[in-house]
Amino acid sequence: MEAGSASQIRQMVNFILQEAHEKAVEIKLKTEHDFNLEKQMLVHNAKLKIQEEYVQKDKDRAVQDRIARSGMVGTSRVQKMTSRDQLLQTLLADTTATIDKVSHSADAYPKLLRTLLVQGLIKIEEDDVTVHVRTADVAAMKSVAADAVADYKAQMQKEANLAVTPTVTVNEDPAKCLSAASPGGLVLVAAAGRIVCDNQLAARLSIVYQDLLPKVRALLFPSA
């Protein structure tokens, strides 16, 4: 009887041990599976994060490259515009220097003053006019003022059938004369200073320069 009970107990113990062993194996396999799955997930997420970081770095580098290229293009354009402007200013300065030589011609300059005075009188159409020139040009202006007035009268009579009798006075006050740095020409003043006609050579050159600037640019910078 005791032998049978002992046998049954051993069978039960062996069964329990077998169940425990199988359960332990099952738990171990599940643990390893969960571990491997978690490890794969961590590795996968880490790879994705690294890829995202590299993609972002590539985007940032591309943005920086575009900014750098844009900056270089902008700098190049500014330098080109500066160089062109310097060339145009040099051209204007050279032209001014050439015009300045005209005022040193004892024969040509008085004739030019006469023409400029006639043009100014036609433009302002005033009866009482004061002419301002450089101090060095006062004598030359006085020598041609009467002839200029005669030219003006004849032209107004011919072109507009108007009889005009202007009084033209050449300013001799050094304080009111044009700057000696001016390349020449004259300024007409009337109506107590309310009407002014600037017919200096520099002013005329400035008008011509602005009018011809597009053509000058096209000639100097045809590829622009």
113 and 51, same domain (yes or no) = no
> Could you tell me if residue 217 is inside a domain?
no
Apex 104 CA angle, 152 and 193, nearest 5: 45
Q: State the average pLDDT for the chain.
A: 86
Asked if residue 219 is part of any domain, the answer here is no
Domain holding 183: CATH number?
3.30.2320.30
Q: What is the pTM of this model?
A: 0.60
| Residues 88-121 pLDDT 10s | 788 778 887 888 888 888 889 999 999 999 999 9
Single out the residue in 102, 131, 146 at which a domain terminates. Answer: 102
Q: How far is the C-alpha of 142 from the C-alpha of 110, rounded, in Å?
A: 9
Instruction: State the pairing for strand pair 167-170/128-132.
Output: parallel
Q: Is residue 222 part of a domain?
A: no
What range defines the domain where residue 125 resides? 104-211
pLDDT band at 1 (very low <50, low <70, confident <90, very high): low
Last residue of some domain: 102, 117, 143?
A: 102
Query: Which tokens in the block code for residue 120?
Result: 């100014």
Q: How confident is the model at residue 28 (pLDDT cuts 50, 70, 90)?
A: confident
Q: Which amino acid is at 154?
A: A
Select from 72, 102, 132 the last residue of a domain.
102
218 found inside a domain? no
202 and 134, same structural domain?
yes
Highest average pLDDT, of 20-29, 69-78, 159-168, 209-218, comes from 159-168
pLDDT the model gives residue 2: 60
CB count in 10 Å sphere of residue 206: 14
Domain count, the chain: 2
